[in-house]
Structure formats: C-alpha cells, structure tokens
A and B are shown apart, each in its own frame.
Chain A
C-alpha cells in the first residue's frame, strides 16, 4: 500500500495539489487535502466540469455539505462506479479515498507522458531543438559589433547570410580530365603556376562554395554514369570505352539530323540567292547564340563558319583594293571643305554603286560557277562511262584476235583444246574432292564453336542477371543500413533528452520485486493446496478403512453375539464407540468452521475500525450540532428581520 500511496501522492503533486512533505500515505490526508486533490484532478481531467468547484473547504457546515455533494456528483459524471457521497469527503475512510484517488489519477490525461513515451518523430525533435535555440538566442541582448564576445559573433554577425556563389576551380586530380597521362607541360604548369585551391577563387567566401559545387558536379556525373552503365551499359556487353564511343556517334547523328531537318525548310526559298544552305546553317547557329553579346561568340572553327568565311572573304579583299584605288586617286587637298565634302559624297555614291555592281557580279559569277561545277561533274561521269566501255571492247577484241590466230590449224587446236578442257575438268573434280575433305572438319569445327558461343552467351547473360541482382541487393542493404543508422541516432538523441527520472528505475525495481514476491506466494499456495489435497485423500482413505473394518468387526461380533452374552455386551460397546467417534469427528469439523468464521469476523472488525467510525460519528454529531446552531441563528435572524 505504501508504494501505491507514494505514486498517488506523486501524481497529485504533478496535477497541482500542494501535498505537504511529511504526508506519506493516504491515511494522513485531511478532508481539506482530499477536497483540494479531487478538485484539482477534476479540473485537469475536465476543465468545464471542474471550473465551478472551489479547491478549499468553506467554514460553514451547510456550505461544506454542498461542496461535498457537488464533488460527488462531479466524480460520478466522470464515471466513478464506487459508492460516493458527501460523506466520502467530509468523513473520509482510507480505502474509499484510495480507490477514488486511484480512479482520478488513472483518468488524468497522459498526453505529456505519451509524448515522451512514444518515439518522437525526427521532425518533432528538430522543431523542439530549433525552438529551444531560438528562444536562447532571443533571450540574449543585441550588442554592437565591437562589444561582442566570440560566442555572440557567431549568431549576431552577418556571416551566416553570405550567399553561396561558386566559381570554377582547376584541380589536377579531377575526374573531368580524361585518363590520359599528363603531358610534360601540364605537369610543369601544375607544379609551378597553379595556385592552391584555397587561393583560386577571387574572394575567400567562395572557396567552400566552389569546392562543394565542384564535388557535387563530379559526384553527380559519376553517379549518372554508374546508373546508366548498370542499366544499359552492362546489357550491351561492350567495354566502357566502346559504349561511350557508340553513344557519342549516336548523339552526333541525332544532332546532325536535327540540324538538317531545321535547315531543310527554309532552303527552297533561298536556293535562288547566293548563299547556299551552308550559310543558312551558319545563320541558324548564330540564331542559337541569339542575342548573346559579341565577346561571347566563339571563334570556334566549325565546318559552317569555315564555309561562311569562304563565301564572304572575297568581299573585304575587293573592298580593300577599291579603297586603295580611291585613296590614290584622291586629290591632295588645296580645295575648300565644301568641295571636298561634295566630292566625297559623290565618291561615296559612286563607290556604293560600284559595290552593288560588284556584288551583283559576284552573285552572277557564283551562279555561273555552280552551273559550271555541275557540268564538270556530269562530264567527268560521262568520261568514266566511256572509259569503262572502251575497256570492255578491248577485252572482247583480244579474245577474238586469239581465235582468229588459232583458225588455220583447226583440228589440232581443237583436240588440244579438248584435252585442256578435260584436264581442267579432272582438276576441278579432284579439287572438289579435296575441298570436301577439308570442308567436313571445318564445318564440324564451326558447329562446335557456334555451340560454345551460344553456351557462353547464355552463361554471360546468366551472370549478367546475377550481377544485376547483386547490385539491387547491395543498394537495398545500403538503404536499410542507412535507415537503421538514422533510427539508431534518433533513438540515442531521444534517450539523451529523456528526463533522468530516478523514480522510474525505482519503480521498475519495485515492480520486479513485487512480481518475484507474487511468484513465491503462488508457489507456496500451490504447495499448500497440494498438501490439503493429500490430507483430504488420506482422510478419505482412513474413513473408508474405518468403515470397512467396522463392517467386518460388526458382522463377526454380531454372529457371535447370538450365542454368547459377553460378546453381545462387547457388540453394544462397539456400537457406542463407533457412535462416539463419529460425534467426535463432527465436533472437530464444527470447531474448524467456527474458527474460520471467527477469523472472518475479526477481519471485518479490523476493516470497520479502519473506517474511523467512532471518530466520524463524533464529528457527525458535532457537525449536526453546528448545523442546528446555524439553523437557530438563521431562524432568530429571520425573526428579527
């Protein structure tokens, strides 16, 4: 009971009741304390219900009675099943109060307890930490920069608001550079000229940002390559280099197609103009760069810019020549400015005209050149065809010439020819036989190799799938490990945050002790039970034996009793003995039940005496007297009023 009382008092203190230090058990609770505790509990459980109750007992008896009635009603509203009335509070008895308080404490809302019991989410922990930190920082006064302690500098200076701006870095061990061995010049540059990475960005704040950015970009590139290689590269069964080159050619093709399709549309319109589709392409590229400023245009030598240069380089050359001509023909001064200006204007006009003419001529010439080029190509083709025809004709002429040479000695030559034909036929047959001989093993070999190849194919695909599975597994287990790690960390942080409540461990210890005690008691009870059973059995045995012995003896003695007088007497004694013994047993059993009843009664007396009945009765009498006095006073007041 002491433990229960301690827990109850602890809970009541938490709910706001002012329980004095020296009160250790419910037995010591006064009526005032009980009323206060109950009211506080009710207020915590149901604020609306407890709002109308005052936590202190008024001095007037009838008011006290009313408070008691109200409290009892409130407790019943909360769902208390036991007997309760004003007497529970005013004339307390220990067990009732204990059960009531236990009921109320169990009803107390547990949200605070639950919040700390359940594993709080990560976000909750974080938010709490943030709130605590901000509260601490807000509590600090703001100080001008010169007065700050180093601790404050961290939170109050503008340092954390630095923006994150990355700048490109040059690193010798970068994955961006290809795996080729570094050239001599490169190594010399890295050794002598290249600054350390911390000195490369223009201002100090960008070092970390640049490093992080560099690392992130390299990491993401590596990861992308990894995933692509695992998903597609492995399936293609190529080495990484082959895969890369294949992908590059594919992309090149695609880009070319795109460009071609983009340029094919406008080309019909401009086919009449001077610039061909190639310069269109150049324009397209220029439009890609859009309105980018001049200094961002690349002098990069694509095919298109080359052609652009070819088509347009004549103009400046011509222009320069003309300019020179104009300069030489310029009069060397001596004329008035107006004249000079007029002449310059005229010059300008004529020059522009010339320029236009030249441009027109160039246009025409280019057209002409194109046509010429076309005709040249046609003519070359024709020439090739003719040459081929010539070759054929020459061949046939050779054959015919030989036949004509052979004609004079026709028969001989015919025989010779036949012989030759036969010999070659024979040779062909023998060659075929030889070929057959060679072919068979070769075909066998080929088949064997094919089979081997398919086997290897299957094997490799099997291994591939295995590798894939393994990759998947590796990823999964890594994820799992990560999850568990974070969970573990979270739990550890929670453990650290938990209040180091001593009573908790004490409670657990105590609970364990109690459980041990209960176990022991149970064992003892079972032992006693088994003892009782054994005794019962023995008693039954003995009674049976007794009955049988008595029956046998009775029979024997009864037989002889007809003949002999003394035996008859002994039979009478035997019967009396049996009767008396039965009575004795009966008496013993009765004594046992009476003893048990006595014990019950004693217990009842104890509980009744625990209820402080006498004291309560006295108090009731006194209160009765007080009420009567109050009534009298009120009545006299009424009469006076």
Chain B
C-alpha cells in the first residue's frame, strides 16, 4: 500500500477507478501504463490491496474514518482521493458484490448466446425446412470459463424450456 505514494494523487484517482472497473467486470488497469512507476511485484500487490480495500469497505460498510485511518501512513491527500472514489462507486461495488453472493454454486452461468438456424435441405432430403437452435452457454466452472454448445431441434428445445420453467416455478415459490 505504501507504494501508492510513488504516484501523484491526481493520477491515483484514475488508477482507483480502473481498479473498481476491474472489480465490476470491465477492463482491468494495465501495467504498461504504470510500468515506469512500479515493478511487477509491487504492481500486483498494490492492485490486489486496493481491490480488497474497496471490497472490504463496501461489504462491511466501514465508516470513512476507518478508511482514512488505514491510509494514514501513505501520505496526505491519498486517503481523501480513495474516499471520493469509494463514495462515487459505492453503489456499483455493492451491486457487484451482491451479484457474486448470488452465485453460490460451483458452476455458474456467465453468459449465453443463441443462433436460430433453418436447415433447408440435407444430403438425402431436398426440402427439409427444419429449424435448429444453437445454444452456447459460457459457464464458469471452478473459476475457469468453459463454453458448452448444444444444438437442438424443436422438441428438444421444448423439453428444455419446460424444464427451465419448472425451475423458475421453484424459484418463484421461494419468493
């Protein structure tokens, strides 16, 4: 955390914002931009430290004084900078943390994509006209992203949808 002192407090704000961006699932800050200031080890430690600071502060609802006390050693001005960033992004960070808390399973769906295709003909039948659905699921399994691709005909899609609806019903009953 002490290495933050190497950066002027004006740039410190943009760095903090970028760390929060990474937390929210957007582009992380790049070491290329700060290569002159820190070594790789320092850089990793610093970003980890900042990110955990933000998470902890928002998650445990710490008061401003606690944050300031934690950053007192770094130098004057830095604490206020971090605090202003925190104040601006508090809601966003809270949403992200809530979302992560929802993912209480070893495998979670990260994203999905689908394509509807119409098979006009096959090697045996000249006019097939069968709709097919390509479903791509991007799944985070034990931290690693994995993509699952499924091709379904009309009946298979119907069974999938009905089972998903049944699952949704269970979720609704929990509410």
Contacts and interface: CB of A to CB of B under 8 A. Distances in A.
Interface string A161-186: 00111111010000011100001011
B120 A300 contact: no
A300 B27 contact: no
Interface in A286-302: 288-293, 296, 298-301
B26 A167 contact: yes
A134 interface: yes
A580 B175 CA distance: 116
A300 B97 contact: yes
Contacts of B85: 185, 189
B41 interface: no
B52 interface: yes
A170 B61 contact: no
A301 B59 contact: yes
B84 A288 contact: no
Contacts of A247: 175
B4 to A, nearest CB: 18
B73 interface: no
A168 B13 contact: no
A201 B25 CA distance: 10
B91 A292 contact: no
B95 A176 contact: yes
Contact of B87 (A168, A183, A190): A183
Contact of B56 (A134, A189, A251, A299): A299
A127 interface: yes
Interface string B47-78: 00000100110011100000000000000000
B60 A300 contact: yes
Given A130-B118, A131-B120, A170-B26, A292 B84 contact: no
A95 to B, nearest CB: 45
B159 interface: no
A188 B106 contact: no
A299 B91 contact: no
B89 A300 contact: no
B33 interface: no
A602 B106 CA distance: 103
Contact of A193 (B17, B97, B111, B120): B17
Interface string B95-114: 10100110111100001010
Contacts of A189: 17, 85, 88-89
A288 B104 contact: yes
A439 interface: no
Interface residues of A, number: 38
Contacts of A290: 104-106
B14 to A, nearest CB: 6
Nearest to A250: B175
A124 B155 CA distance: 21
B120 A251 contact: no
Given A178-B91, A298-B97, A292 B142 contact: yes
A387 B64 CA distance: 45
Interface in B4-41: 13-14, 17, 21, 24-27
A202 interface: yes
Contacts of A200: 26-27
B122 to A, nearest CB: 15
Contacts of B21: 170
A193 B13 CA distance: 9
Given A186-B87, A188-B88, A301 B25 contact: no
B116 to A, nearest CB: 12
Contacts of A291: 106, 142
Interface string B105-145: 11000010100001010000000010000001010001100
A134 B129 CA distance: 13
A168 B105 CA distance: 21
B61 A301 contact: yes
B129 A127 contact: yes
A254 interface: yes
Contacts of B27: 200, 202
Given A185-B84, A291-B106, A168 B24 contact: yes
Contact of A298 (B14, B26, B59): B59
Nearest to A193: B17
B94 to A, nearest CB: 10
Interface in A172-219: 176-178, 183, 185-186, 188-190, 193, 200-202
Contacts of B13: 193
A200 B92 CA distance: 15
A155 to B, nearest CB: 16
Given A131-B120, A290-B104, A165 B97 contact: no
Contacts of B91: 177-178, 186
A163 B113 contact: yes
B142 A301 contact: no
B174 interface: yes
Contacts of A300: 55, 59-60, 97, 101
Contacts of A127: 118, 129
Interface of B: 13-14, 17, 21, 24-27, 52, 55-56, 59-61, 84-85, 87-89, 91-92, 95, 97, 100-101, 103-106, 111, 113, 118, 120, 129, 136, 138, 142-143, 174-175
**Closest 3 A/B residue pairs (Cβ):** A301-B60, A300-B59, A189-B88
28 contacts: A127-B118, A127-B129, A130-B118, A130-B120, A164-B113, A165-B111, A165-B138, A167-B25, A168-B24, A170-B26, A176-B95, A183-B88, A185-B85, A186-B91, A200-B26, A202-B27, A290-B106, A292-B103, A292-B142, A292-B143, A293-B143, A296-B143, A298-B55, A299-B56, A299-B59, A299-B60, A300-B101, A301-B59
Given A165-B138, A168-B24, A185-B87, 10 more contacts: A127-B129, A200-B26, A202-B26, A202-B27, A290-B106, A292-B106, A293-B142, A299-B60, A300-B59, A301-B59
